[in-house]
Amino acid sequence: MTSGRMRQGAILAAIWAALIFAPYWMPLFGGYTALGTRVLAIGLGAMSVNFLLGFTGVLSFGHAAWFGLGAYGAGLCLKWIAASTPLGLLAGTLLGGIAGGLLGALLVRRRGIYFAMVTIAFGQVFYYIAFQWSSLTGGDDGLRGFARQPLHLGFATINILNDATAFYYFALLCFAIVVGIMGFILRSPFGHTMIAIRENERRARFLGIAVELHIWIAFTLSCFFMAFSGALYAMVNNFADPRMLHYSLSGDFVIMAVMGGMRTFWGPLLGAVVFVVLQDYISSITVNWMSFIGLMIVAIVLFFPRGLLGLLRQRKAA
C-alpha cells in the first residue's frame, strides 16, 4: 500500500472516529449532542449540493426546495399517516426526490446562471405554497404536532424520541449509509462520466456521452440525497417550516461546500461543521452573527480558494 493511500486511510479513520465519539468529546468543548445531529443533517445537505456542483459542475440555487419538501414529507407522514420514523424518512425522501427529478427534466438543457436562476424560481414556488397552504403546512408558524418515534426492531426497542444520544447514532447510521451510496456512485463509471462532463462538456459530447441524460440523473440523485437530509433534519427538532425551502438556505449550502472545499468529497462536511458550530456559538453572543460569518467566508474565498480542506492538504504537502 502506498503512503498516499495510507494517509487517506488514516484521515478517513480519523473522520469516522470523530463522528462516532462526538457525543463524548463535544461537551468538553461546550457543545451538545443535538448540535452534532444538526451537523450530520446539514452536512449531508452540503455534500448533496457538492455532488451536483463539485462533481458535475452544475450550480443549483434552489436545492433548499428539496430539503424542505423532505422535511414536510417526513412531518406530514408522521402526523397523518403512520407514527414510524423509517417510514417518515422514506416519505420525505420520495417527495423531495421525485419532485426534483420531474422538474430536473425541464432544466437539464439550461446551463450556468440560467440553470441557477430557474432552480431559484421553482424553489420559491414551493416556498410560496408552503407559506400559503396553512391548513396543511401550518403556514409561517410551521408544521408541528409530529415527533420521531422509537425504533421497534422486534428483539429490541430503541428510544430515539427523548434520548438525544440514541438519535445521534441513528442519524449517524443514516448518514453513513447515504454517504456510502454517494461514494460508490462517484467511484463508478457513471461518477467518472460526471467528472468528464464537469471538465469539458463539449469533449464529452464528442465522445458520445448523453450529457443531458447524465446531468438529469446526477441532479435527481442529488435531490434524493438532499430530501433525505431534510427529512432527517425535521426530526431533530420535530418541526418543519417554510424557511427550509427558501433560496437563502440554498445559498448557505453552497457556501458550506465552497468553504469546506468544493470538488472534494469530505470538504462540504467540514464546511458544515464550521458554519453550523460558529452560527450556534456566535448567535448566542450577538444578533449580528451573520456579519462575522460573512467576513470569515470572504476571507476563505480570497485567501484559500480551495477551501479549508484544500488548506489542510497544502500544509501536509509542505
Cell numbers 441557477 correspond to what residue? 116
Q: How far apart are CA 40 and CA 57, in angstroms?
A: 24
Region 230-253: what's the mean pLDDT?
93
Q: Residue 286 — pLDDT band, cuts 50, 70, 90?
A: confident
DSSP annotation of 310: H
pLDDT in tens, 56-105: 999 898 999 999 999 999 999 999 999 899 999 999 999 999 999 999 99
User: Is residue 309 predicted with pLDDT exceeding 80?
Assistant: no
H runs (alpha helix) in 29-158 = 33-56, 64-76, 85-107, 112-132, 134-137
Between 306 and 259, the higher pLDDT residue = 259
DSSP-based three-state secondary structure for 152: strand
The 3-state DSSP class for residue 31 equals coil
Write down the pTM of the prediction.
0.93
Grid coordinates of 174: 443514516
The pLDDT value given to residue 314: 61
The amino acid that residue 48 corresponds to is S
CA atoms of 24 and 28, how far apart (whole Å): 8
Q: With DSSP H G I counted as helix, E B as strand and the rest as coil, what are the percentages for the chain, rounded to 5? A: 80, 0, 20
CB 236 within 8 A of CB 94: no
Identify the weakest region by mean pLDDT among 134-148, 242-256, 281-295.
281-295
What value does the mean pLDDT of the chain take?
A: 90
What is the structure's pLDDT at 315? Answer: 57
Whole-number Å distance between alpha carbons of 273 and 60: 21
